[in-house]
């Protein structure tokens, strides 16, 4: 039977879950496993995905892509070092579009196109399991994602659905809703608990960190505060270790090619770095080894082989740990701002979510900060998909006893003049909130208002994401006498809309 399924498309692994009436369960993938590595390799004029992509990537690593999640919607000029060959994307006429893309063998691929290949695989598996195309999906995204990342994630799933429709020759109806990953985890963890408890969710995955304080249980999941770091995730631990290995290699082999200049070599080093990082979660030391890594001028193979201790790894990545604790501190300060009597002692539990929370030093730092032992789930990766599946069941009316109140993670603002912005809806506004304003003219006889809708943390436009720019003509007024009505709102799933003088200038609003 058709259902709304829960999608967790992670930087490292992805999965799809359903709510079967009693509990959320993983949907098995064609190879029988529940998890699909978020890896795509382009080979032989096509592509392979997941474990096959890792295997193919070992042989043809040039076009193996992984860890693109936080590049969703990224502008070309904001590019970070992804470890892969990236280019500025081009439209069909060959003009640059300003967005970051990955260079494939035949053309460049936007991050959302890569995500859509994963979404296609997951939805196809769900279709096979349910015997019908899912009638919708709840897609989890990091709470701290900015609007362009959310939009790109959404487009990715819709692109996959379009492809499924085309392949099956059927025009499936499909509903898509986004959900914040830590909220999904808290819902999955506490939806059947009788009594409400206050928990901190620390969600550290492959690419991002979210720290949310959530009240959960008694059928209600209420998010109190949320904070995050969009460029702090497992890949950053991998990169630090990879940089360390490269510097050692350079010192010892000044005569050989610098691996940092060879994409294929860096891809191998990053893959091994991730494996070493994982092994160090259960071992005190392990070898970082890549056989036949290079050749001496005389043709002799050279292996790359270093012993890495957990202590050394923890020392080199200590700055990342400090960033995590910094985000926990900000979350705590936010909670105190809402309720001045709040302290960490008022939390009933700390829930660790995301694969990176398996790292002992992260568990220890979180424990020290919150002064309590975090609850360790056997599979911290499953909670997000389970929460999304439960949310799907709620949307279908199958769980009328449950409700969620989430909040915005960024302020919605309007740039009025120069480098100042008026906050329309502050960060932390509940989904469903709205506010009305009058926009005015700054100078006598100003013929039009030039406005920009912004999303961001502070009141300085230069630090914000520009959602929309608009010019609005006004009649002659003395300075500050014009009154143009503006409504700002966030819908039930967190999408902002701004309406100026009855016209939507950002977002969608059927009623406008």
Q: Which residues bind ligand AMP (CB under 6 A)?
A: 10-13, 205-206, 234, 274, 277-278, 281, 354-356, 358-359, 381
Q: How many CB atoms lie within 10 A of CB 486?
A: 21
DSSP 481: -
DSSP 323: H
The residue nearest ligand AMP at its CB is 234
* Nearest-approach distance from CB 111 to ligand AMP, in angstroms: 15
Alpha helix locations (H) across 408-491? none
- Give ∠ CA 62-243-228 in degrees, rounded to 5: 90
* Nearest-approach distance from CB 205 to ligand AMP, in angstroms: 3
Q: What is the DSSP track for 124-139?
A: HHHHHHHTS--SEEEE
Q: Which is nearer to ligand AMP, 155 or 239 (CB)?
A: 239
* Nearest-approach distance from CB 60 to ligand AMP, in angstroms: 23
* Nearest-approach distance from CB 257 to ligand AMP, in angstroms: 27
Q: How many CB atoms lie within 10 A of CB 85?
A: 13
* Nearest-approach distance from CB 380 to ligand AMP, in angstroms: 7
Q: Which is nearer to ligand AMP, 206 or 456 (CB)?
A: 206
* Structure tokens that stand for 443 in this block: 């100078």
Q: Which is nearer to ligand AMP, 205 or 387 (CB)?
A: 205
* Nearest-approach distance from CB 56 to ligand AMP, in angstroms: 20
- Give 247's strand partners: none
Handedness of CA 332, 388, 12, 39 (dihedral sign): negative
- Give 413's strand partners: 423, 454
Q: Which is nearer to ligand AMP, 13 or 89 (CB)?
A: 13
Angstrom CA distances, 179 to 228, 377, 403, stand at: 15, 21, 13
Q: Which is nearer to ligand AMP, 210 or 415 (CB)?
A: 210
CB-CB contact of 186 with 216 (8 Å): yes
Q: Which is nearer to ligand AMP, 273 or 413 (CB)?
A: 273
* Nearest-approach distance from CB 274 to ligand AMP, in angstroms: 5
Handedness of CA 142, 145, 151, 153 (dihedral sign): negative
Q: Which is nearer to ligand AMP, 166 or 364 (CB)?
A: 364
CB-CB contact of 226 with 180 (8 Å): yes
Angstrom CA distances, 331 to 116, 215, 371, stand at: 33, 14, 15
CB-CB contact of 153 with 141 (8 Å): yes
Q: Which is nearer to ligand AMP, 156 or 486 (CB)?
A: 156
* Nearest-approach distance from CB 278 to ligand AMP, in angstroms: 4
DSSP 330: H
């Amino acid at each position: 039977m058709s259902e709304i399924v829960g999608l967790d498309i992670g930087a490292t692994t992805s999965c799809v879950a359903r709510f079967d009436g009693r509990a959320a369960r993983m949907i098995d993938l064609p190879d029988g496993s529940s998890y699909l590595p978020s890896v795509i390799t382009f080979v032989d004029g096509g592509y392979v995905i997941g474990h096959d992509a890792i295997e193919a990537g070992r042989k043809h690593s040039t076009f193996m892509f992984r860890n693109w999640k936080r590049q969703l919607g990224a502008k070309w000029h904001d590019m970070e070092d992804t470890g892969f060959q990236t280019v500025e994307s081009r439209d069909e006429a060959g003009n640059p579009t300003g967005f970051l893309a990955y260079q494939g063998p035949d053309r460049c691929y936007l991050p959302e196109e890569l995500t859509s290949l994963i979404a296609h695989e997951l939805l196809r598996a769900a279709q096979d399991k349910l015997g019908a195309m899912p009638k919708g999906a709840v897609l989890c995204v990091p709470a701290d994602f900015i609007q362009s990342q959310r939009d790109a994630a959404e487009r990715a799933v819709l692109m996959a659905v379009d492809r499924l429709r085309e392949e099956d020759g059927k025009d499936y109806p499909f509903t898509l809703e986004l959900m914040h990953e830590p909220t999904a985890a808290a819902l999955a963890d506490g939806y059947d608990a009788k009594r409400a408890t206050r928990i901190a969710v620390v969600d550290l995955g492959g690419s991002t960190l979210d720290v949310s304080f959530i009240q959960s249980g008694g059928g209600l999941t209420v998010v109190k505060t949320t904070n995050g770091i969009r460029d702090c995730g497992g890949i950053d631990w991998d990169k630090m270790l990879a940089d360390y290995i490269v510097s050692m290699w350079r010192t010892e082999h000044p005569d050989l090619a610098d691996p940092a200049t060879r994409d294929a070599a860096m891809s191998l080093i990053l893959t091994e770095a991730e494996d070493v990082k994982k092994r160090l979660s259960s071992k005190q030391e392990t070898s970082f080894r890549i056989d036949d890594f290079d050749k001496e001028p005389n043709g002799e193979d050279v292996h790359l082989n270093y012993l890495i201790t957990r202590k050394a790894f923890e020392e080199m990545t200590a700055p990342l740990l400090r960033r995590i604790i910094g985000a926990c501190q900000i979350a705590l300060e936010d909670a105190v701002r809402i309720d001045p009597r709040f302290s960490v002692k008022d939390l009933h539990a700390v829930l660790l979510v995301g694969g990176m929370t398996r790292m002992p030093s992260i568990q220890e730092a979180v424990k020290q900060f919150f002064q309590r032992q975090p609850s360790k789930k056997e599979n911290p990766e499953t909670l997000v998909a389970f929460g999304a599946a439960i949310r799907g069941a709620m949307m279908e009316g199958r769980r009328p006893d449950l409700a969620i109140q989430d909040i915005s993670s960024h302020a919605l603002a309007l740039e009025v003049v120069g480098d100042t912005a008026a906050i329309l809806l502050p960060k932390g506004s509940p989904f469903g909130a709205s506010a009305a304003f009058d926009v005015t003219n700054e100078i006598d006889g100003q013929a039009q208002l030039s406005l920009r809708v912004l999303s961001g943390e502070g009141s300085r436009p230069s630090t914000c994401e520009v959602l929309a720019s608009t010019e609005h003509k006004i009649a002659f007024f003395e300075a500050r006498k014009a009154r143009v009505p503006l409504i700002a709102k966030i819908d039930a799933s967190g999408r902002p809309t701004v309406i100026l003088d009855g016209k939507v200038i950002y977002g969608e609003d059927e009623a406008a």
